[in-house]
Amino acid sequence: MSCAVEILSDRDELAGLVEDWWSLWERAPAASPFQTPAWLGAWWSAFHPGRLHVLAVRSGGMLVGLAPFYIEDGSGRALPIGISISDYLDILIDPAASGEALTAISSHISGSGVPHWLFPDLPPESAALDLPCPAGFREAVEPSDPCPVLAIGSGPDPLGGNVPARQLRKLRMAQNRAGRRGRVRARAVGAGEISQFLDLLIDLHGKRWGSRGEAGVLADPRLRLFHEAALPALAERGLAHLKILEIGGRAVGAYYGLRSGQHAYAYLGGFDPDDAFESPGTILIGAAIADAAEAGAGAFHFLRGGEPYKYAWGAEDRRNCVRTFRRGAHR
């Protein structure tokens, strides 16, 4: 099976690929929501820090591979679209054409004239780890950030069978404390509430980090533009799982999660520091794990970072890695 690489270099070409991109994403077994056109297209619209250099691999007219990159202004490096705010990054490869598509991407890198290609935040099952090292390049693979994952299973008690007893006691204590202030409800956010949800999340997240004297990750206004663009398309596909925690009718916490197939992802959260005694973050995470288990997910990803609270839920480390190709003789 012969494959040809097409280079997409402007936003209109990227937009024209969306239907085929979704189809390829659905066929790629290791793909996460961070590789969808909804996520990466919104990232490019919000940030566009260089020149698009997206490698679209086709065989018989069908899209069988996609490496969504750009050339960074100043450095000239090839970096993946979605870098920095995406916890998992990868290329997309159709398993029915994997060998040919991977070889085509490697051959393009070899002849591209770009001297440095960076593949960060690759989970262990990444297709990018199977890329042949391009001719004329040397490679390096190094461990990166821990990404704790909780193995979960369904059952009559979706939390009791998955979460350590000590953490369950903390969850019950938080629920009891909140219950003394009024009705406790972790409610799902509807498609028509996304803008209001983002307002709440940004406000709560800012308050929480402001109480520590820090700005927080949502201080950049471009991030609001990004999430406003990404979330509706993710929600339409059933990939966005958003919750608001209300205590006594007042919104005190927000949870931004993603889910696809057997995997749930806890991406971002915020709560009012004035309500810290009731531990709204604990209540929301407990609700999200229970929802994921009931939906049949087998893994709950706490994503990048080794914060202690993740391990309290029973998560175990899984490390991302970074792979680089640099032009030069093999070591």
The answer to whether the pTM exceeds 0.75 is: yes
pLDDT at 329: 55
Task: Kindly give the pairing relationship between strand 62-72 and strand 92-93.
Answer: antiparallel
Amino acid type, 35: Q
Q: Find, among 321, 287, 291, 317, the residue nearest to 305 by Cα.
A: 317
Residues 63-112: pLDDT tens digits?
A: 999 999 999 999 999 999 999 999 999 999 999 999 999 999 999 999 99
What tokens does 213 get? 């004297």
The tokens 């009718």 sit on which residue?
249
Q: Find, among 114, 14, 142, 36, the residue nearest to 82 by Cα.
A: 36
Residues 49-61: pLDDT tens digits?
A: 999 999 999 999 9
Cβ neighbours of 15 (radius 10 Å): 14
Give the span between the Cα atoms of 225 and 147, in whole angstroms: 26
pLDDT at 216: 67
Give the span between the Cα atoms of 166 and 149, in whole angstroms: 18
Output b/e per residue, 204-226; b: 16+ Cβ within 10 A.
bbbebbeeeeeebebeeeebbeb
3-state helix, strand, coil in the chain (%, to 5): 40, 30, 30
pLDDT at 292: 95
Q: Which residues of the chain have pLDDT under 50?
A: 331
- The three-class DSSP label of residue 137 is strand
Q: Find, among 231, 276, 268, the residue nearest to 252 by Cα.
A: 276
Task: Tell me which DSSP letter residue 133 carries.
Answer: P
Task: Kindly give the pairing relationship between strand 299-301 and strand 263-271.
Answer: parallel
For residues 18 and 60, is the Cβ–Cβ distance under 8 A?
no
Residue 322 — φ and ψ, nearest 5°? -125, 130
Domains, in order of start, for the chain: 4-145+320-327 (3.40.630.30), 149-312 (3.40.630.30)
The tokens 């030069």 sit on which residue?
328
Which residue stretches of 36-181 are H helix?
37-47, 98-111, 165-179
pLDDT at 205: 86
Give the span between the Cα atoms of 81 and 92, in whole angstroms: 13
Residue 278 — φ and ψ, nearest 5°? -85, -5
Give the end-to-end CA distance of the chain in Å, rounded to a whole number: 32
Give the span between the Cα atoms of 173 and 179, in whole angstroms: 10
pLDDT at 133: 97
Give the span between the Cα atoms of 324 and 331, in whole angstroms: 13
